[in-house]
């Protein structure tokens, strides 16, 4: 069996590769009783005294390197900051390793680094270490970036993606599918027909506003595999059923238009500046209002609730129901 594109696309195929080939060959997967590799959460934790250090790492191979709303530098920094944030931890620093093809334009590298720096500044995150390697031009497609993020939270305040409980409300912080569909429309030459841009952004400031209110039980950023993969993973790990109101899931008209042209479900497409969170029912409205005060959360909405059972169910306006399945993989390759 050979590695295929779906093995990196965030769905069932990728999960099988991770569990069967990666996790099965690693013996020590956690430190000091913290959250480790087996949890497959957005990050791991290392308990030290009264605090937990959150660590996450990510690789980035986005195509094209520069796209409407961002570039590989912004997505590398934002994606790593967001993974730390999803654990309820304040992001402190990232590292940056780059493998660059011989002949790569130094002016483009300058743009990428400026973009990465600006993204870090938004979340008050430092870039503290890194590495740069160069490969022959025919061995690499432009540039590949790997980032590692570090954050901190008080012990007992870590947020897991497995924390949903019956009665919780589900909040999404904005429109679904913007990033993946903007890249796909750009690649396919639809850019002249739409002003759709990537939602790529660091989400810590928004997340902190929600945490300050309280009642957040679970969080995940719906990247590879999109919203469908994220909410299914949250529901499955938590051992609950999630019931969503289909008409309340925010999807832009431009995303609908491009997805229909390409035959792609926007719920399965990557987002790079959104959060899916579970919130206690008595805190949901207050959390929603707090999120809406952030520039990245003005379109946030409550889209469903958690009940006992299994699966993720979407209810239609006419009273029908359908199961939102776990995607095989993100239908748009190389989005992050």
DSSP code of residue 37? G
Coil, strand, or helix at residue 305?
Answer: strand
Query: Which residues are within 8 A (CB) of 202 and not within 5 positions of it... i.e. 6 or more apart?
Result: 77, 78, 81, 82, 85, 91, 119, 120, 122, 123, 125
Q: Which CATH class is domain 169-323?
A: alpha beta
The domain ranges of the chain are 13-154, 169-323
Distance between CA 255 and CA 261 in Å, rounded?
Answer: 10
Distance between CA 43 and CA 37 in Å, rounded?
Answer: 8
Distance between CA 336 and CA 318 in Å, rounded?
Answer: 36
Please report the pLDDT score of residue 262 as a whole number.
85
Q: Of 262, 260, 179, nearest to 227 (Cα)?
A: 179
**Superfamily (CATH) of domain 13-154:** PurM-like, N-terminal domain (3.30.1330.10)
- Could you say which residues of the chain have pLDDT below 70? 5-11, 190-194
Residue 233: burial class (beta carbons within 10 Å; 0-12, 13-18, 19+): buried
Q: Of 65, 67, 68, 46, nearest to 55 (Cα)?
A: 46
Residue 183 host element (H or E)? helix 178-187
Distance between CA 303 and CA 323 in Å, rounded?
Answer: 15
Q: Of 14, 35, 62, 69, nearest to 151 (Cα)?
A: 35
Determine how many CB atoms are found less than 10 A away from the CB of residue 225.
Answer: 26
Q: Hey, what are 12's tokens?
A: 């069932």
pLDDT tens string 260-296 = 888 899 999 999 999 999 999 999 999 999 999 999 9
Backbone φ, ψ for residue 93 (5° rounding): -155, 160
Please report the pLDDT score of residue 15 as a whole number.
75
Q: Are 287 and 210 in contact (CB under 8 A)?
A: yes
Please report the pLDDT score of residue 190 as a whole number.
66
Q: Is the peptide bond before 283 cis (omega within 30 degrees of 0)?
A: no
CA angle 165, 170, 171 (to 5 degrees): 145
Look at the chain and count its residues. 336
Please report the pLDDT score of residue 328 as a whole number.
82
Distance between CA 6 and CA 14 in Å, rounded?
Answer: 6
């Amino acid at each position: 069996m050979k590695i295929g594109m779906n093995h990196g696309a965030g769905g069932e195929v990728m999960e099988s590769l991770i569990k069967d080939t990666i996790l099965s060959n690693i013996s020590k997967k956690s430190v000091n009783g913290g959250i480790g590799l087996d949890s497959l959460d957005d990050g791991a934790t290392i308990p030290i005294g009264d605090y937990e250090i959150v660590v996450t790492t990510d690789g980035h191979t986005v195509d094209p390197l520069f796209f409407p709303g961002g570039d590989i530098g912004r997505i590398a920094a934002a994606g790593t900051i967001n993974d730390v944030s999803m654990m309820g931890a304040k992001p402190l620093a990232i590292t940056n390793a780059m493998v660059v093809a011989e002949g790569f334009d130094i002016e483009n590298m300058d743009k990428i680094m400026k973009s990465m720096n600006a993204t870090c500044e938004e979340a008050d995150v430092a870039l503290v270490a890194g590495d740069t390697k160069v490969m022959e031009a025919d061995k690499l497609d432009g540039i590949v970036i790997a980032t590692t993020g570090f954050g901190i939270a008080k012990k007992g305040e870590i947020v897991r993606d497995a924390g949903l409980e019956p009665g919780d409300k589900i909040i999404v912080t904005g429109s679904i599918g913007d990033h993946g569909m903007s890249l796909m429309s750009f690649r396919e030459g639809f850019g002249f027909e739409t002003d759709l841009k990537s939602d790529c952004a660091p989400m810590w400031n928004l997340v902190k506003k929600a945490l300050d209110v309280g009642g957040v039980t679970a969080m995940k950023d719906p990247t590879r595999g999109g919203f469908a993969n994220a909410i299914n993973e949250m529901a499955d790990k938590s051992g609950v059923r999630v019931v969503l109101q289909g008409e309340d899931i925010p999807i832009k008209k431009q995303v609908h238009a491009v997805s229909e042209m390409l035959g792609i479900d926007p719920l399965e497409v990557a987002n790079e500046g959104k959060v899916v969170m579970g919130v206690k029912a008595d805190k949901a409205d207050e959390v929603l209002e707090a999120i809406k005060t952030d520039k990245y959360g003005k379109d946030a909405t409550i889209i469903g609730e958690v009940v006992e059972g299994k699966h993720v169910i979407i209810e239609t306006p006419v009273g029908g129901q359908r199961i939102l399945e776990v995607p095989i993989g993100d239908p748009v390759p190389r989005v992050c």
